[in-house]
């Protein structure tokens, strides 16, 4: 007679805390483990929980909520279809009934978040935000508006990973759940400028549309230049301003000249000597972005320093 052996392995504290766990079962695609437990964030005795299985690891279990879990014991949750299943629920001490359920899916309202600079909390427009589920699938991609705001579709009882990137800032990546929610606002830390033998390399400087007024986010960028020039007192800086190639040549030349001067004025107001700074507006003779007269609002605000 052949003998069978079985290697048992504890699923770890994300599934098994000190209290009792019962009735494990997985979905057909083996992406989720459902089980009953007394040891997580419970509403009653035994509650039903869901854990995502990612790369053969079990993520911290999430409570299925009060539409499934009561203040008494709820056990033996089984899905027989994507949206249908059965559960054993206690109606009186030691007295259980078997119930069937159907999951109703509703459109999840988007939640508004704001992307800001970490120290000053200045809103950061044009930050690129990608939201992924726990399996790496992209749920949404968006770009922060002029107030630094984004809208994210957040599904209940789920894990999400958010990736935030913006030129001149250190990228942020963080995982959060419906229980351990994403902090608002989302804070980005400025990256340090790159100093070469002949340049200070920072992100592009933005101005208000059709104006020479430096945006608040770009004032933060220019502060990087101030710090470098203070660190290297012998360094001199040439500033070149470029505009888009729509509108008249004369208008763009005047605008670029005003923007270059506005940049110098900001630096001198921060204590940098005028003798260390030169500037020139190139208009559309050397466009930073050749968009054929069809520039986006972001491109319209951009110059190179």
The answer to whether 45 and 90 are in contact (CB under 8 A) is yes
Establish if 215 belongs to a structural domain: yes
Predicted confidence (pLDDT) per residue in 105-115, tens digit = 877 778 999 99
> Is residue 14 in a domain?
no
The closest alpha carbon to 19, from 6, 4, 36, belongs to 36
Cβ atoms of 185 and 114 within 8 Å: the answer is yes
Q: Cβ distance 255 to 210 under 8 Å?
A: yes
Residue 10: count of CB within 10 angstroms of its CB: 7
Asked if 105 and 97 count as a contact pair (C-beta separation under 8 A), the reply is no
How far apart, in whole angstroms, are the C-alpha atoms of residue 122 and residue 21? Answer: 47
Q: What is the pLDDT of residue 109?
A: 77
How does residue 248 score in pLDDT terms, banded at 50, 70 and 90?
low
> In this predicted model, what pLDDT tens digit does every residue of 281-305 receive, in sequence order?
766 655 555 555 555 555 554 444 4
Q: Among 102, 126, 158, where does a domain finish? A: 102
Tally the C-alpha atoms within 13 A of residue 195's C-alpha that lie toward its C-beta. 13
Angle made by CA atoms 121, 269, 261, in degrees to the nearest 5: 100
What confidence category does residue 247 fall into, taking pLDDT thresholds of 50, 70 and 90? low
Region 251-270: what's the mean pLDDT?
88
Q: Are residues 121 and 66 in the same domain?
A: no
| 136 and 155 housed in the same domain | yes
Confidence band of 229 (pLDDT split at 50, 70, 90): very high
Domain holding 51, by residue range, is: 21-102
Residue 244 lies in a domain: yes
Please tell me whether residues 97 and 142 are part of one structural domain.
Answer: no
With cut-offs at 50, 70 and 90, classify the pLDDT of residue 41.
confident
- CATH number of the domain that residue 214 is part of: 3.30.1330.60
Q: What is the CATH number of the domain that holds 120?
A: 2.60.40.10
Phi, psi of 11 (to 5 degrees): -80, 0
Q: According to the model, what pLDDT value does residue 285 have?
A: 57
Res 303: pLDDT: 43
Round the average pLDDT of the chain to a whole number and report it. Answer: 87
């Amino acid at each position: 007679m052949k003998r069978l052996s079985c290697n048992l392995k504890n699923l770890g504290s994300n599934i098994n805390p000190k209290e009792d766990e019962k009735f494990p079962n997985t979905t057909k695609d083996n992406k989720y483990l459902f089980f009953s437990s007394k040891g997580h964030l419970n509403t009653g005795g035994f509650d039903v929980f869901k854990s995502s299985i990612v790369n053969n690891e079990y993520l911290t279990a999430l409570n299925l909520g009060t539409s499934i879990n009561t203040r008494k014991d709820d056990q033996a949750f089984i899905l027989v279809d994507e949206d249908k299943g059965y559960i054993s629920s206690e109606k009186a001490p030691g007295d259980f009934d078997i119930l069937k359920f159907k999951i109703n899916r509703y459109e999840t309202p988007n939640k508004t978040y704001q992307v800001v600079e970490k120290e000053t909390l200045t809103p950061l427009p044009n930050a690129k935000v990608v939201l992924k589920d726990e399996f790496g699938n992209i749920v949404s991609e968006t770009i922060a508006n002029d107030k630094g705001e984004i809208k994210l579709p957040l599904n209940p009882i789920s894990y999400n990973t958010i990736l935030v990137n913006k030129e001149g800032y250190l990228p942020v990546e963080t995982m959060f759940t419906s229980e351990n929610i994403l902090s608002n606002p989302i804070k980005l830390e400025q990256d340090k400028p790159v100093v070469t033998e002949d340049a200070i390399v920072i992100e592009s400087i933005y101005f208000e549309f059709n104006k020479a007024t430096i945006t608040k986010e770009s004032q933060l960028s220019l502060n990087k230049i101030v710090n470098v020039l203070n660190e290297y007192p012998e360094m001199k800086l040439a500033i070149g301003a470029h505009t888009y190639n729509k509108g008249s040549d004369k208008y763009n030349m005047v605008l670029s000249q005003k923007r270059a001067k506005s940049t110098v004025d900001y630096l001198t107001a921060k204590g940098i000597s005028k003798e260390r700074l030169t500037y020139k507006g190139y208009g559309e003779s050397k466009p930073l972005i050749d968009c054929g007269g069809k520039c986006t609002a972001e491109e319209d605000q951009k110059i190179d320093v």
